[in-house]
Amino acid sequence: MNQHQSKSWFDRAQNVIPGGVNSPVRAFNAVEGTPPFIVSAKGAYMIDEDGNQYIDLIGSWGPMIVGHAHPTVVEAIHQTAVTGTSFGAPTKAEVLFAEELCAAHPVLDMVRLCSSGTESTMHAIRLARGYTNRDVIVKIDGCYHGAHDAVLVEAGSGVATFAKPGSEGIPTAVAELTRTAPFNDLNVVEQHLSTSTVAAVILEAVPGNMGCIVPTEEYLEGLSKLCKKYGTLLIVDEVMTGFRLSKGGACERLRIDADLVTLGKIVGGGLPLAAFGGRREVMECLSPLGAVYQAGTLSGNPLAVAAGRATLGLLSDVVYQELEGKAECIEAGLEDLVAKYPVSFARVGSMFTLFFRDQAPTNFDEVKECDFDMFGTFHYKMLERNVYFPPSQYEAVFLSNALSDVEVQRVISGIIDVVEELFAQ
């Protein structure tokens, strides 16, 4: 794998962009090697500055579910661009899009558009605080909700302790309003709900940001019951799972009774767009109807709305069956490997992670027991075989429907070869 050009761009980048990247995971700090600089992508493939062509298992971290540069999506963006790219005033397309989102997702009575997943969870949390008139929120360890203060916290040492900020620059006073609890565990959540007045519990119902974790049925059902009991809102962050696990996301697939949901990634079809929404009574607290302020100059941007609508229009039941079929095929192809070596495969729908741990983790503490060095080498060796895995053990694979049997088979045989090689050493 020649990386001459990518390496030289990475050097230049580091002089003018902190760490050379505009989002930290892209720097490949968690794996061996340096990041390929991408020139273009089409269908299931990405091509880098050195002409290497990779089977893409990231799909821009989810949005490219129908494959890169899908002609229908490109055409929609093109047609919209020539009629003006931003007005700062309402458009018909936003209304149609909002109607489509509300029809697709069981939790959405009303929805508001914004530009990133980070914004969507920030606004949803403020809305929950405004609606309940409470300050404290509960966040689940290992779930990621974007890069704002309230959710960038990690677990404290004891069950009932305050969370510690997971980043410099977050005031302790802010972090103290966020309590944390382990995934798949109702006891700690209930302790929080019963000892403080909690505005909202926020979680990824199927986490993808600590690798893919399978939720137990009792957990999700229990969470929603507990929230009702204590007058706390349940916010399901579907930025990753929305339109990934089904049209109605994790909430439809796993029948979760939530108050608010956040959407991002796929809903923007590869352009910057996200959304949050939920119960009408809660959503009507938003400005200009209510007293909870929220706004955005580029919210509902015509190009992003066009790309999102075109992408969602391509997602049928058949597409979801095909996508899941590809993931099942990979799982089946790795069955012997998983039995033979201390690796495990966790999957929900078309989201999955190969963990370098004997048993698939069920919470964040267990994820931390993985062999991260081995994952780092695995990642590099897969890249050498032209398969681009997410560059961290803490991430899930995102399949696109542009992957054909040929690519699926190459992924399976690549994984088998590399894992055999790693454990032979």
Ligand X SMILES: *Cc1c(COP(=O)(O)O)cnc(C)c1O
What residues make contact with ligand X under the rule CB under 6 A? Answer: 116-118, 121, 144-146, 204, 208-209, 237, 239-240, 264, 274
d(CA 298, CA 89): 10
Half-sphere exposure of 268 (CA within 13 A, CB side): 29
Which CB sits closer to ligand X, 101 or 274? 274
Q: How far is the CB of 7 from ligand X (least distance, A)?
A: 26
Q: Which helix (H) or strand (E) covers residue 224, if one does?
A: helix 217-230
Which of helix, strand or coil describes residue 53?
strand
Which CB sits closer to ligand X, 33 or 208? 208
Q: How far is the CB of 264 from ligand X (least distance, A)?
A: 5
Q: How far is the CB of 25 from ligand X (least distance, A)?
A: 10
d(CA 394, CA 61): 12
Q: How far is the CB of 425 from ligand X (least distance, A)?
A: 34
Catalytic site residue 265? Answer: yes
Position closest to ligand X via CB: 117
Q: Which ranges of 144-216 would DSSP assign to H, the alpha helix?
A: 172-175, 186-195
Helices and strands, number each (H, E), in the chain? 15, 16
Which CB sits closer to ligand X, 265 or 381? 265
Catalytic site residue 358? Answer: no
Which CB sits closer to ligand X, 62 or 130? 62
Which CB sits closer to ligand X, 33 or 264? 264
Residue 318: count other Cβ atoms within 10 Å of its Cβ: 9
Q: How far is the CB of 144 from ligand X (least distance, A)?
A: 5
Region of 269 please: left (phi>0), alpha (psi -120 to 50) or beta.
left
Which of helix, strand or coil describes residue 274?
strand
Q: How far, in Å, are 77, 145, 189, 400, 410 from residue 197 at the CA level?
A: 46, 22, 12, 42, 52
Chain-centre distance of CA 202, in angstroms? 14
Q: Which of 48, 56, 141, 237 is catalytic?
A: 237
Q: How far is the CB of 390 from ligand X (least distance, A)?
A: 11
Phi then psi dihedrals of residue 223, to 5 deg:
-60, -45
Half-sphere exposure of 109 (CA within 13 A, CB side): 10
Half-sphere exposure of 282 (CA within 13 A, CB side): 32
Residue 87: count other Cβ atoms within 10 Å of its Cβ: 10
Which CB sits closer to ligand X, 66 or 274? 274
d(CA 337, CA 380): 19
Q: Is the separation of the CB atoms in 169 and 148 below 8 Å?
A: no
- Take residue 73 and report the two structure tokens written for it: 């999506």
Q: Which of 265, 320, 380, 381 is catalytic?
A: 265
Chain-centre distance of CA 92, in angstroms? 29
Q: Which of 45, 131, 144, 219 is catalytic?
A: 144
Which CB sits closer to ligand X, 346 or 415? 346
d(CA 19, CA 234): 36
Q: How far is the CB of 318 from ligand X (least distance, A)?
A: 25
Q: Which helix (H) or strand (E) covers residue 97, if one does?
A: helix 92-104
Which CB sits closer to ligand X, 147 or 338? 147
- Take residue 154 and report the two structure tokens written for it: 């990690």
Q: How far is the CB of 117 from ligand X (least distance, A)?
A: 2
**Active site members:** 144, 237, 265
